[in-house]
Amino acid sequence: MTGEQKGIVLVTGGAGYIGSHTVVSLLEAGYSVVALDNFTNSVNSNKNDSVALKRVETITGKPITFYRCDLLDKDAVEAIFKAHKIESVIHFAALKAVGESMTNPLLYYKNNMIGMINLLEVMDSHGIYKMVFSSSCTVYGEPERLPITEENPTGNVTNVYGRTKYFIEEMLKDAVRADAKWNIIALRYFNPVGAHKSGMIGEDPTKQFTNLMPYISQVAIGKKDVLTIFGNDYNTPDGTGVRDYVHVMDLATGHVAALNKLDREHLGLKMYNLGTGKGISVMELIQTFERVNKVKIPYVIQERRAGDISAMYANATLAETELGWKAVHTVDEMCEDFWRWQQMNPNGYKGEHMNGHH
């Protein structure tokens, strides 16, 4: 995969789940990476290093420049741009827990919105206008029709986390309208799951998590007794919620494809869905996980959660046509890869030294 050496990319939130996996793909594609993270959603060693990114260096055999930095600290961000010849930015850094966003909305608005504004202002002052932004399928709210294309209306959003993504998209539209130099792709991704096939990096939620896949594997490994399924009376084939689960390494290559597109042409602002185009129910995911990994997942059914949507999956043909990107990993692989990561790292990055990797 390694071709000619490409420029320096700044990856914000680079120590997080999707960030760290994308850094693997960027390095393999020949980009150099400067990463920043404030460790809100990721585990740091005591040395202000990212455990995940140290492992990415092991996986790829390439160095990463890492800064512990918060986007709300504009001077610190400015210093990073002064120190490196950054050519483009991939912006993952955000608070992302839907439940927490409802109980602490101001924290979410402050962190996600002001963080983005600081980043854009520093980029502008350094003459850097290429950005790939992590948006989310939450901007669509409860969809009127499926599958969801990029033309689906946005803004009828059911939670504060999703609203921060929607407001940022609107802000980007205004910024691009006011200054044609900006060249930005917003990737609306669906439900990321799985892990790098090495088992060395994966999803390690630092907060009380509601994501299904880590929850399933916590039950499988015996850390939790039983899985709670919220709602089995949805208007779906088996009554459980349907989502478009997409392998995190497919998302990673999607970011590289977006960056390649920005390197080649000027788009202004363009939105792309990243998903598989197939809906998988909660029950199907559990059954696939059991079959592939030969484990049992005991579960109980509870009431639906407020604000949960019955079904949502992408039409991702635009990304295929314009970015040359397509999700290639199967649901079996998502389950297999996540379980490998979980078994090799039963306590996530906080755990034992894995196979002598320190």
Looking at the annotation, which residues are catalytic? 161
Query: What burial letters (b/e) apply to 147-161, b meaning 16+ CB within 10 Å?
Result: bbebebebeebbbbb
Name 241's Cβ contacts closer than 8 Å, sequence gap at least 6.
Answer: 230, 231, 234, 281, 282, 308, 309, 310, 311
Q: Is 163 left (phi over 0), alpha (psi -120 to 50) or beta?
A: alpha
Query: Exposed/middle/buried for 352, CB within 10 Å: 0-12, 13-18, 19+?
Result: exposed
Closest by Cα among 226, 225, 194, 230 to 210? 230
Give the gyration radius of the chain's Cα atoms.
Answer: 19
Closest by Cα among 126, 115, 234 to 165? 115
**Strand, coil or helix: what is 57?**
helix
For residue 198, the cross-strand partners are: none
